[in-house]
């Protein structure tokens, strides 16, 4: 690689990483606002409307409030792990987004710059590994808080997330079989004729259910079930550490939406009247709306039913579906 080409590439990459990071932060802020506003509409309320026009500055007010609050550490807590836990959560939530492709390659001075932070040839497995590490954030938070509610929340979420990682991984296998690749870029490219959801609709349903369980969102929000566990694993957290858990939850929601779009809805591909990047944003926004819609619609399930459902229904079903997909390809 010649020197100028390398410099252009490097600068473009750094700018890209910064843009993705800031973009994610802003999306998280406005996603929280959008969630509150949408759920308010669905429940015939008004929602936040005091700060700024139609409440648009609410996320910034919330962030400032969280910054200024007192940072408490419970007595008997393990201080180091108590700080480490939210860091792991945020770190993994942001790391997972690094391999999502969100647009056609840019060409600047004959240098090709893909709109994706990095393209790994083991992309999907990398994502699964990151989601596996994500469990530690919640489990350690539950343990290090030295509180019964936190501990139960942590244990529950540990069991729930490990269980649902299996169907999550298996639901992607059909897509991998069809696209002959683990790299997300090639998966998007393989959907140029038709989206994989047409052939993989059952796998998409499995993916959707497990991704809701993985992000600990309603109706599967047992780790933080407020009616029985106060706030689950983050009961003892306050101030900015609490904000970090909050950010991690919404960041992983965005990542799972982007992943669903990439695997099943053709990524950034779409008719040419919008640029590819806008298509990607629209699809992700639709998925996020679906997440919020679910929260407003369904009540929380019972915990043992959730685990039974995974091991006795979802797992056998996704295994059989892999067999069917394999047979279809051969």
Partner 1 sequence: MGLIIFLILGILSVFTAIAVVVEKRPVYSALYFIANLVVLSLIYLTLHSEFLAVVQVLIYAGAVMVLFLFVIMMMPPVVENRFGKMSFQKFLIMPLLLIFLFELVYVLSCGLYASAGKSPSSLSFENFGGIVSLGQLLFKRYLVPFEITSLILLVAIIGAVYLRRSEQ
Summarize as ranges the residues that interact with partner 1 (CB under 8 A).
78, 81, 120-122, 125-126, 128-129, 131-133, 135-136, 139, 143, 151, 154-155, 158-159, 162, 165, 182
Nearer residue to partner 1 within complex by CB, 101 or 154: 154
Q: How far apart are CA 187 and CA 172, in angstroms?
A: 11
Nearer residue to partner 1 within complex by CB, 120 or 230: 120
Asked if 207 and 263 touch (Cβ cutoff 8 Å), the reply is yes
Nearer residue to partner 1 within complex by CB, 59 or 169: 169
| Count of other CB atoms within 10 angstroms of residue 35 | 19
Nearer residue to partner 1 within complex by CB, 233 or 268: 233
> Residue 11 CB, nearest distance to partner 1 (Å)?
21
Q: How far apart are CA 168 and CA 157, in angstroms?
A: 16
> Residue 122 CB, nearest distance to partner 1 (Å)?
5
> Residue 315 CB, nearest distance to partner 1 (Å)?
13
Nearer residue to partner 1 within complex by CB, 164 or 265: 164
Nearer residue to partner 1 within complex by CB, 46 or 313: 313
Nearer residue to partner 1 within complex by CB, 121 or 297: 121
For tokens 């008004």, what's the residue? 46
Q: How far apart are CA 123 and CA 102, in angstroms?
A: 14
Nearer residue to partner 1 within complex by CB, 134 or 262: 134
Q: Is 29 helix (H, G, I), strand (E, B) or coil?
A: helix
> Residue 79 CB, nearest distance to partner 1 (Å)?
12
Q: How many CA atoms lie within 13 A of 182 on its CB side?
A: 10
Helix (H) or strand (E) holding 204: helix 201-214
For tokens 């030295």, what's the residue? 146
Q: How far apart are CA 167 and CA 31, in angstroms?
A: 27
> Residue 138 CB, nearest distance to partner 1 (Å)?
11
Question: What is the DSSP annotation of 53-86?
Answer: GGGTTHHHHHHHHHHHS-----TT--HHHHHHHH
> Residue 302 CB, nearest distance to partner 1 (Å)?
21
For tokens 């779409």, what's the residue? 270
> Residue 98 CB, nearest distance to partner 1 (Å)?
13
**Which residue from 129, 130, 141 is spatially nearest to 86, judged by alpha carbons?**
141
> Residue 145 CB, nearest distance to partner 1 (Å)?
12
Structure tokens belonging to residue 151: 């501990």
């Amino acid at each position: 690689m010649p020197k100028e080409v390398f410099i252009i590439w490097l600068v473009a990459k750094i700018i890209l990483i910064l843009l993705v990071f800031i973009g994610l932060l802003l999306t998280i802020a406005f996603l929280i606002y959008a969630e509150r506003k949408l759920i308010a509409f669905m429940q015939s309320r008004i929602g936040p409307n005091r700060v700024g026009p139609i409440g648009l500055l609410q996320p910034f007010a919330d962030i400032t409030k969280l910054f200024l609050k007192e940072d408490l550490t419970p007595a008997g807590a393990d201080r180091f792990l108590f700080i480490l836990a939210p860091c792991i959560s945020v770190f993994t939530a942001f790391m997972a987004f690094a391999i999502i492709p969100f647009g056609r390659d840019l060409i600047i001075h004959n240098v090709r710059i893909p709109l994706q932070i990095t393209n790994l040839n083991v992309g999907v497995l990398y994502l699964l590994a990151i989601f596996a590490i994500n469990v530690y954030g919640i489990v350690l938070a539950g343990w290090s808080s030295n509180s019964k509610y936190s501990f139960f929340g942590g244990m529950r979420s540990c069991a729930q997330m490990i269980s649902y990682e299996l169907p999550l991984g298996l639901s992607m296998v059909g897509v991998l079989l069809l696209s002959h690749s683990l790299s997300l870029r090639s998966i998007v490219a393989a959907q140029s004729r038709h989206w994989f959801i047409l052939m993989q609709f059952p796998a998409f349903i499995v993916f959707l259910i497990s991704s809701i369980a993985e992000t600990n969102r309603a109706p599967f929000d047992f780790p933080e079930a407020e009616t029985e566990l106060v706030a689950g694993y983050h009961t003892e957290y306050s101030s900015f550490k609490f904000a970090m858990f909050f950010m991690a939850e919404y960041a992983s929601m965005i990542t799972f939406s982007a992943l669903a779009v990439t695997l099943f809805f053709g990524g950034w591909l779409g008719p040419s009247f919008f640029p590819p990047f806008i298509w990607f944003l629209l699809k992700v926004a639709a998925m996020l709306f679906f997440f919020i819609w679910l929260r407003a619609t369904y009540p929380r399930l019972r915990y043992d039913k959730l685990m039974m459902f995974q091991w006795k229904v979802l797992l056998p079903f996704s295994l059989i579906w892999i067999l069917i997909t394999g047979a279809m390809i051969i």
